[in-house]
Amino acid sequence: MSSLDEIVVVGAGAAGATTAETLRRQGYEGRLTLVGGEPHLPYDRPPLSKQVLAGRWEPDRIRLRGPEVYDRLGIDLRLGTPVARLDPADRAVELADGGRLRADAVVIATGVRPRTLPGTEGVTGVHVLRTLDDALALREALGEGRRLVVAGAGLLGTEAAVAARGLGADVTLVGGDPVPLLDLLGPQAAGLVAAAHRDLGLRFRRGRVSAVVGAGGMATGVLLSDGTHLPADVVLVATGSLPHTEWLAGSGVPVGDGVLCDDLGAARPGVWAAGDVANRPDPRTGRRRRWEHRTQATDQAVAVARNLLAGAGARPAAPLPYFWTDQHDLRIQVFGEIAGTDRCHLVEGSPAERKFTAVYCAQDRVRAAVAVNLPRAVQQLRPLVENEAVWTGTPAEAPAN
């Protein structure tokens, strides 16, 4: 490890913080700096669209670690300091405040930024939801009777819509699919989500928000691509994200929908990437892709930290995709991916009971497992997904789509 006297981890989210912590726990004793653009201690993002937005949790509860942990591990935290560029000649990280950090190795964990709608910059009432400050600002803007339109019916948009409804807002969710989350959850679980939304009084409108309508610098509604106008006091744009890689221009680090890494997590000698920003080969499909799930960020970070220190002993890592979502009284967990499967086998319970597990297969091989309100039961199905096992059970069958 003598050649790694200084390591800089850029990005203080779950991936960056986990990378730094793992480096120390794996025995790295050199200078270790963790750089974050936000002023807050590293925190967990999934609760932002749920517990934090709903007002059930305050910011301190989502910290990944207390400040004393970083002190004890000897991690130099540089918070509230956006990164400006990576100097390839000197392998140094240049900060927006003029600081410069020399590094024998750099781990890029800068994550993603939300997509926005053209012409909405500076318009009061238009929000995104990526950071703690975003969640607190949106929570402050909502309340009894406030009209909210959520542009985008993915995990973030649906969770935020449910939380906003709990605050008394009048919510309309706009998405392109017939049912929200259909491709992610499958028709059985997605149907339960749609029913839960209806029970809450949450409206769903199929379509695409093309513009925000405003007057006097304030949002008054949105315009859909079919010309429909929906009135709104608050607009949440949840239409996806873009990897935060602009600061790497001219660095020689390969970029294309994120930082292009090999299966070890290395982008070029001395430069690694982990988390939402990392674009890696998927051994299951042979294609490159990014993962934006919380557990993937942690798993990748652990693997990158170990590989960075392992030298010739580095090993590829292919964590199994996993995510969960809370939709009112539904806790839904998914291992693997449902997209591309052709058959669903119910294993335990049923959608009618609002409690079930199921496996999704492609050509009789298990590619995904889903659980609704059975958090422990789905763990038993995980090995089937990991091994792409041939399904030999005989429970009830249903089409996957």
Residue 162 identity:
V
Per-residue pLDDT of the chain (401 residues; tens, 9 = 90+): 448 999 999 999 999 999 999 999 999 999 999 999 999 999 999 999 999 999 999 999 999 999 999 999 999 999 999 999 999 888 899 999 999 999 999 999 999 999 999 889 889 999 999 999 999 999 999 989 999 999 999 999 999 999 999 999 999 999 999 999 999 999 999 999 999 999 999 999 999 999 999 999 999 999 999 999 999 999 999 999 999 999 999 999 999 999 999 999 999 999 999 999 999 998 877 889 999 999 999 999 999 999 999 988 899 887 889 999 999 999 999 999 998 899 999 999 999 999 999 999 999 899 999 999 999 898 999 999 999 999 987 544 555 55
Buried-exposed string 288-304: b where 16+ CB fall within 10 A, e elsewhere: eebbbbbbbbbbbbbbb
Say if CB 11 and CB 109 are below 8 A apart: yes
Other Cβ atoms closer than 10 A to 267: 25
Rounded Cα distance between 131 and 122, Å, is 17
What pLDDT is attached to residue 394? 55
Q: Using only C-alpha atoms, what is the Rg of the chain?
A: 22
Q: Are 127 and 152 in contact (CB under 8 A)?
A: no
Cα separation, 388 vs 258, whole angstroms: 28
- Residue type at 392 in one-letter notation: T
Q: What are the CA-CA distances from residue 314 to residues 68, 220, 262, 266, 311 (Å)? A: 31, 54, 12, 10, 6
Nearest Cα residue to 103 out of 161, 193, 181, 35 = 35
CA-CA distance, 16 to 111, in Å (whole number)? Answer: 9
- Rounded to whole angstroms, the Cα distance separating 20 from 107 reads 9
Task: Write out the two tokens for 124.
Answer: 């009061």
3-state secondary structure the chain: CCCCCEEEEECCCHHHHHHHHHHHHCCCCCEEEEECCCCCCCECCHHHHCHHHHCCCCHHHHECCCHHHHHHHCEEEECCCCEEEEECCCCEEEECCCCEEECCEEEECCCEEECCCCCCCCCECEECCCCHHHHHHHHHHCCCCCEEEEECCCHHHHHHHHHHHHCCCEEEEEECCCCCCHHHHHHHHHHHHHHHHHHHCCEEEECCEEEEEEECCEEEEEEECCCCEEECCEEEECCCEEECCHHHCCCCCCECCCEECCCCCEEECCEEECHHHEEEECCCCCCEEECCCHHHHHHHHHHHHHHHHHHHHCCCCCCCCEEEEEECCEEEEEEECCCCCCEEEEEEEEHHHCEEEEEEEECCEEEEEEEECCCCHHHHHHHHHHCCCECCCCCCEECCC
Query: 178: how many CB neighbours lie within 10 A of its CB?
Result: 11
φ and ψ at residue 385, rounded to 5 degrees: -75, -45
The one-letter amino acid at 136: L
Give CA–CA dist 203/185, Å, rounded. Answer: 20
How far apart CA 126 and CA 138 sit, in angstroms, is: 9
Residue pointed to by tokens 């997509």: 115
Measure the CA–CA gap between 214 and 222, rounded to whole angstroms. Answer: 8
- As to burial, measured by CB atoms within 10 angstroms (0-12 exposed, 13-18 middle, 19+ buried), residue 47 is buried
Which pLDDT does position 400 carry in this prediction? 59
